[in-house]
Copies of this chain bind each other. A is one copy, B any other.
């Protein structure tokens, strides 16, 4: 990071050398962006926001009392930082609770297993289940299996590939999302998976189960959850919760290795599992919103977000305390400028993301009337690794504008990425599906899935320098987009 900081220190000096007459970004706006970058690298406001959230609230599962405390915390935090129009937009949701778990190998080599229930898992029957493991190398093998699994437990072993952009996640995640369904259909007592993660620590990775679209079953593969959302604006399971009828759990990687070693001996593996988990009725969640009103075009909104909820086993530092701190820190820097940008900047901290993007759908539904006013949207929800590239999905003029934006933030080590992206982050999906233009500051996610959805997602894992680079980049991009008069929206949408 030292090199980046040093480069940034020269930002103002080198700025005018690159000015062009036909630029979409004025020299004034660009200089302000450079000043914001400089301040972003120096400020610790965003970092202190994460510290406060993870320390004073801690874990905050969607629908829990702790998530309600997080909303109160956010209102107070935004108010103290001087944001305007601070408010909570509540919504109701079904609440799933993890409860306790006990898992162990009964035979051939008795020993405990470190496991965690997947979101939506049913409880085991009183006294737990005990059954023989049927070992599947991959989710595809389970999917293709045309036998029965009655009285036995399906186990799916495939590993996630570590990629810098996190691209191994969707493939590895098929087993977390859909293995319960395949196991259940074949009469299994339960289902266990190797955790979806890239580490070799004794932490299971939890995460929500899902339900595929019926039409995609015909293609022989389940579609990723993202398709569900785009095609069905408000998924039905938000009303009732996705629920397996059998317990579904993830094992830590070292435990999965152990299972694999025992499986390699040719011995039959018998496992005992007791899970106390289930849906506990309707609870309230909510999105917390704060604004910097625009000075000329207050009805036009640049929406930036992160999700306020976390999984229950950790304090949610990289997922997504970091995002909360990054977008808040960036917006706060902009609010400290002598004059506000032309357009309004709206910060949305979404509730109940982990359990099904419920806050995102509630936001889109509750604010449907003004979706057309959102000129650009993005979420920070990929940890605190450094930003590597800027992607966007906007009109032709908007794309050229973002090319110039990248030129301004390039000294932070940020390249231009995809210029026709649909991705603005998970909670932006319902808005993007309705034609809202998006950008994304793509981060280095090499280590992200070491921590993701584990108890180890804690504040100490955030590197302050990488974090500051994020704040600097966000402040610049958001400022430029909000101060512009560019039409980012594509005309045919």
Q: Which residue numbers of A lie inside 8 Å of B, CB to CB? A: 51, 55-59, 66, 105, 108-112, 114, 200-203, 253-254, 257-258, 261-262, 265, 314-315, 454-456, 458-461
Is B109 touching A57 in the complex (CB atoms < 8 A)? yes
- A sample of 25 inter-chain contacts (CB < 8 A) reads A51-B261, A55-B109, A55-B258, A55-B261, A56-B108, A56-B109, A56-B265, A58-B105, A58-B258, A59-B111, A59-B112, A66-B110, A66-B111, A201-B201, A202-B203, A202-B314, A202-B454, A202-B456, A202-B458, A253-B460, A254-B456, A254-B458, A254-B459, A257-B460, A261-B459
Contact partners of A261 in chain B: CB under 8 A: 51, 55, 459
A461 / chain B contacts, CB cutoff of 8 Å: 200
- In Å, the complex CA distance between A109 and B66 comes to 10
Interface pair A200/B111, CB less than 8 Å apart: no
Q: Which residues of B contact A454 (CB under 8 A)?
A: 202
CA A114 – CA B457 in complex, angstroms? 13
Query: Known interface pairs A55-B261, A112-B59, A315-B111. Does A202 touch B254 (Cβ–Cβ under 8 Å)?
Result: no
Which B residues touch A458, using CB under 8 A?
202, 254, 257-258
In contact, A456 and B201 (Cβ under 8 angstroms)? yes
What residues on B are CB-neighbors of A112 within 8 Å? Answer: 59
- Closest chain-B Cβ to A345's Cβ sits at a distance in Å of 30
Distance of A261 from chain B, by nearest CB (Å): 5
For the complex with contacts A58-B111, A258-B459, 13 further pairs of A-B residues with Cβ separation under 8 Å are A55-B261, A55-B265, A56-B108, A57-B111, A58-B110, A59-B111, A59-B112, A201-B201, A202-B203, A202-B314, A202-B454, A202-B455, A257-B459
